[in-house]
Amino acid sequence: MTDRCPADEPPAQPSKTPERLWRELLGEQLRSARHGRGETLHGVAHRAKVSPQYLSEVERGRKEASSEIIAALGDALGLTLLDLTTGVASRLGASSASASRGGFRLAA
């Protein structure tokens, strides 16, 4: 039997964090904007002419919204595509920064 210390072993994914997908980040951004306005799925979905079930799936990153639906959901939330892409970019920036901090902590 070897007496190996697990801490000496390289992690399964040394430096690469799981890749976030566009639809997941967009969904988080839409949900966060809706919550920020204190709105229900029903209200936003109604204005965007989609079903509340569909909006819920988009918000959870389960459904891939077309560009036209993204625009309609943005409109319903008072957000432009610039707002949405900037929001997604800052979510990604924040998550990559926290992954880096995690990396430093593990390496220390």
> What burial class does residue 19 get, using C-beta atoms within 10 Å of its C-beta: 0-12 exposed, 13-18 middle, 19+ buried?
exposed
CA distance 22 to 61: 8
Decide whether 40 or 98 has the Cβ nearer to its own copies.
98
- 102 binds its own copies, rule: CB under 8 A: no
Report the residue count for the chain: 108
- Closest distance between its own copies and the C-beta of residue 93, in Å? 6
Decide whether 37 or 91 has the Cβ nearer to its own copies.
91
- 21 binds its own copies, rule: CB under 8 A: yes
* Helix boundaries (H) for the chain: 22-36, 41-48, 52-59, 67-76, 81-107
Among 67, 105, 107, 108, binds its own copies (CB under 8 A): 67
Among 35, 49, 53, 64, binds its own copies (CB under 8 A): 64
